[in-house]
Amino acid sequence: MAEAVDYKVVGTRPIRPDGVDKVTGRAQYGADLNLPNMLYGKVLRSPHAHAKIKSVDVSKALAMDGVYAAVSGADFPTAAHGDIGGEGGGDVADVAKNVMARDKVLYHGHAVAAVAATSQSIADAALAAIDVEYDVLTPVLDVDEAMADDAPLLDENCFTANLPEKPDKPSNIAAVMQLARGNVEEGFEAADVIVEGDYNIPMAHQGYIEPHACTATINEAGQATVWCCTQGHFEFRSMTAKLLGMEIADLKFIASEIGGGFGGKTVVYLEPLAVLLSKQSGRPVKMMMTREDVFRATGPTSGTHCKVKVGAKKDGTLTAATAWLAYEAGAFAGAPMGPGAMCVFAPYELENFHIEAFDVLVNKPKVAAYRAPGAPQAAHAIEVALDDLARQLDMDPIDLRLKNAVSEGTQASYGPKFPRIGFKECLEAAKAHPNYTKPLPEGAGRGVAAGFWFNVGMQSSAEVHINENGSVIVVEGNPDIGGSRASMCIMAAETLGVEYDSVRALVGDTESTGFSNVTGGSRTTFATGMAVIEACEDIIAQCKARAAATWGVDEDQVEWEDGQAVPAPGVNADVKPLSLADIAASAHKTGGPLLGRASLNAQGAGASFAVNICDLQVDAETGKVDVLGFTAVQDAGRAIHPDYVEGQMQGGASQGLGWALNEEYIFDKNGVMENAGFLDYRIPVASDLPMIDCEIVEVPNPSHPYGVRGVGETPIVAPLAAAANAVRDATGVRVNDLPLSPPRLLDAIDSAE
């Protein structure tokens, strides 16, 4: 891929094609579909964090007027073990038990029964009429407690995976992972300075504003249609089929518009319940979570306990590092400790390191993917340690990172050699940014941190239809969560050589387009974009063939230039170029409609790096942090639509700052989340934040036709440490745990005095 390319459409900022519907209230989201004769489904949730279910009796609920269905764990088939696929699944059997508890409840809010009734108030009354008998057990509420030898067990059949030998007794440690290279002891001996830290971060939620919702209807032949907000309707279809023992072809999933997901809408919660309730009642069933349900029973991301130790020479060269990373999985295995372990040292050249990570069961909601799953917590640990190291070495923190930064050809700590990457370019751009040297107000502090995420490829399909007037319809299978239709239209317009306005993109349902994995892993613009480009190239090949036939020349004597077929240089044909519109208009005479398609399993997702600069001040009286400025620098490979790239960077910064400064799950001693609402789980509001300055670095990904890397996840990796390092700079006090909430900071400042 050449670097300086003259693109006509790529890199411009047109209005998104789905925009008007979204600013007028027309766009339909998960909870917006009402069908005739529809019932409302609701879920009864466990009041205990850990208990055996002795019995569930729904008969009284079912006997009520207006109640047409009531189900509990006994109504579901037992799902076999197996990988659920996609991004945030885990084991099928676990997802089944998470969707509806069987013999045990494993967190406060765990689903134990569900009803469908003619109104929401009748459904609520029906839930109150369900009898559940519990044998209450002691909950295990934090990761250290859960790893202790004598901890109560969540699952008696949980034997730690990935050990050389199967352990002789069960534990709450579902799996471990190790990565190592070189000789850590020798590395530390060679160090002039060693820093160590111990870091705790509580669970945090994705916090999408749209609660999970769906409407399902199934007919007498067992053919179901499910409308829902999802990051991946194909994967929702396959999970629902597995959980209900249904034939995949009998399930049609339609992805509604989606009101945020950030990884949290990659697994099913309500959909299998709605199908089952519809089956029992014979009527359409709509289910909507409350915000409280969302907090108690979906998401969150892992709480973590991380320990990091780093050694360096006087000149800043890193000599050795170790990381011990314990991730809470919640009630079922599947914490993102793998990516955490793989990311923690990924940005740095290290001869000697040892990384150990743990996937630990606790009586809290089963974690789901959250933007760069596992990376922000691990990055927080290493990036804070590096900040401490820079202080001890009296070195600029960006210089310290530049000294050790990975680049093309470096063997990554997680295995492969890096292809072309843009980490050094990001560090240099941050260093040169005026915000890095801008004077700070009295008492304020500045922090720097770096972030890394792999990005993924996976499977995508796309079709391109050329209308009879030459306008273009792109059909693909990835829910548009943040402007991806616009990116698809841009890439199609660029490839075909037509105007952006002549292209429309639509997200097909599971029956109208080919399989695509989730909108997640920062893969949509990269992988689905690649499928769209290939489908457009298919169209171009067909157009060339039709032009060749029209002109009576060979296909290889025709080229595609600026949206039209022209004779190749040197071909002596006295013909007028044929535009896409010309070819479309005569398509009925040259072989029928033009339909291009592509499907692929995209390889070569480009790793993306970011560097953040955070300015803030801390009120010494209250401990409250005011963020004064935030600068996000990130390698996008190529920004297809720069507004939406900046949007990802700004949104990630905001989420990361919320996580750093305020957001946390607070549990009482019984495992009841005490802040299950937006009032007490406080995500950043407009008055909490300054403008967020973005600098997009473009080091093209050699594996993508336009150089795209994927940008959705990297933005949340660095802000936690950037904010923590700024607090250190402002106050002179190092606080290792997050969030840096007023009480914690006040405590730290007071005890330092």
Partner 1 sequence: MSKVQVETRINGEGVEFLCEPQQTLLEVLRETLSRTGTKEGCATGDCGACSVLLDGRLVCSCLVLGVEAEGKEVTTIEGIAGNDGLHPIQQKFLERAALQCGICTPGLIVATKALLDKHKNPDEETIRYWLAGNLCRCTGYDKIIRAVQDAAEELAYEA
User: What residue ranges bind ligand FES (CB under 6 A)?
Assistant: 209, 260
Q: How far apart are the first and last CA of the chain?
A: 57
Within 573-592, which residues bind partner 1 (CB under 8 A)? none
Question: Binding of partner 1 at residue 679 (CB under 8 A)?
Answer: yes
Nearer to ligand FES by C-beta: 257 or 387?
257
* Smallest distance from ligand FES to CB 209, Å: 4
* Smallest distance from partner 1 to CB 501, Å: 14
* Smallest distance from ligand FES to CB 260, Å: 5
Binding-site partner at residue 686 among partner 1, ligand FES, none, CB < 5 to 8 Å by type: partner 1
DSSP 97-117: HHHS-SSEE-STT-EEEEEEE
Nearer to partner 1 by C-beta: 87 or 210?
210
Closest alpha carbon to 225 in 240, 210, 204? 240
Nearer to partner 1 by C-beta: 683 or 696?
683
Helices (H), 55-142: 59-62, 92-99, 120-128
Single-letter residue type at 109: G
Nearer to partner 1 by C-beta: 682 or 734?
682
**Which residue's C-beta sits nearest to ligand FES?**
209
Single-letter residue type at 86: G
Sign of the torsion angle spanned by Cα atoms 548, 551, 557, 558: negative
**φ/ψ of residue 426, rounded to 5:** -65, -45
Cβ-contact 658, 685 below 8 angstroms: no
Nearer to partner 1 by C-beta: 160 or 206?
206
Neighbours of 31 (CB within 10 A): 21
Strands (E) located in 493-563:
503-507, 558-561
CB proximity list for 6: less than 8 A, separation 6 or greater: none
Within 424-453, which residues bind partner 1 (CB under 8 A)? none
Tokens of 547: 């032009």
Bond prior to 376 in cis (omega within 30° of 0): no
Binding-site partner at residue 453 among ligand FES, partner 1, none, CB < 5 to 8 Å by type: none
The angle subtended at Cα 216 by Cα 210 and Cα 217, nearest 5°, is 160
Nearer to partner 1 by C-beta: 272 or 712?
712
Element (H, E) at 441: none
Mode of pairing for the β-strands spanning 458-466 and 594-602: antiparallel
Neighbours of 395 (CB within 10 A): 18
List Cα–Cα distances, 334 to 90, 141, 359, in angstroms.
Answer: 6, 17, 7
Nearer to ligand FES by C-beta: 142 or 210?
210
Under rule CB under 8 A, how many of the chain's residues touch partner 1? 62
Binding-site partner at residue 207 among partner 1, ligand FES, none, CB < 5 to 8 Å by type: partner 1
Nearer to partner 1 by C-beta: 4 or 691?
691
Residue 432, SS3?
helix
In whole angstroms, what separates CA 524 from the centre of its chain? 11
Nearer to ligand FES by C-beta: 266 or 280?
266
Question: Binding of partner 1 at residue 654 (CB under 8 A)?
Answer: yes
Binding-site partner at residue 646 among ligand FES, partner 1, none, CB < 5 to 8 Å by type: partner 1
Cβ-contact 328, 335 below 8 angstroms: yes
Residue 442, SS3?
coil
Binding-site partner at residue 288 among partner 1, ligand FES, none, CB < 5 to 8 Å by type: partner 1
Within 181-210, which residues bind partner 1 (CB under 8 A)? 206-210
Binding-site partner at residue 644 among ligand FES, partner 1, none, CB < 5 to 8 Å by type: partner 1
The binding track of 280-319 with respect to partner 1, each residue x by CB under 8 A or -, is --------x-xx----------------------------
Out of 55, 59, 78, 120, which residue is the one contacting partner 1 (CB under 8 A)? 120
Within 90-119, which residues bind partner 1 (CB under 8 A)? 119
Nearer to partner 1 by C-beta: 288 or 466?
288
3-state secondary structure 645-707: HHHHHHHHHHHHHHHHHCCCCCECCCCCECCCCCCCCCCCCHHHCCCEEEEEECCCCCCCCCC
Binding-site partner at residue 375 among partner 1, ligand FES, none, CB < 5 to 8 Å by type: none
Closest alpha carbon to 388 in 732, 680, 135? 732
Tokens of 425: 């370019």
Within 247-266, which residues bind partner 1 (CB under 8 A)? 257-262
Tokens of 102: 């069987």
Nearer to partner 1 by C-beta: 408 or 688?
688
Binding-site partner at residue 685 among partner 1, ligand FES, none, CB < 5 to 8 Å by type: partner 1
Within 693-712, which residues bind partner 1 (CB under 8 A)? none
Binding-site partner at residue 653 among partner 1, ligand FES, none, CB < 5 to 8 Å by type: partner 1
Residue 355, SS3?
strand
Inter-helix orientation angle 233-244/271-281, to 10°: 50
Out of 549, 689, 733, 746, which residue is the one contacting partner 1 (CB under 8 A)? 689
Nearer to partner 1 by C-beta: 299 or 606?
299
Residue 363 DSSP symbol: S
Binding-site partner at residue 510 among partner 1, ligand FES, none, CB < 5 to 8 Å by type: none
Within 1-30, which residues bind partner 1 (CB under 8 A)? 13, 15-16, 18-20, 22-29
Nearer to partner 1 by C-beta: 258 or 540?
258
In whole angstroms, what separates CA 98 from the centre of its chain? 20
Question: Binding of partner 1 at residue 692 (CB under 8 A)?
Answer: yes
Largest CA distance in the chain: 88
* Smallest distance from ligand FES to CB 659, Å: 16
Binding segment (CB under 8 A) for partner 1, from list 86-94, 191-199, 673-681, 725-733: 673-681
Out of 214, 389, 448, 481, which residue is the one contacting partner 1 (CB under 8 A)? 481
List Cα–Cα distances, 73 to 58, 101, 286, 294, in angstroms.
Answer: 11, 6, 20, 20
Interface with partner 1 (CB under 8 A): 13, 15-16, 18-20, 22-29, 31-32, 34, 119-121, 206-211, 257-262, 288, 290-291, 481-483, 641, 643-644, 646-648, 650-655, 677-679, 683-689, 691-692
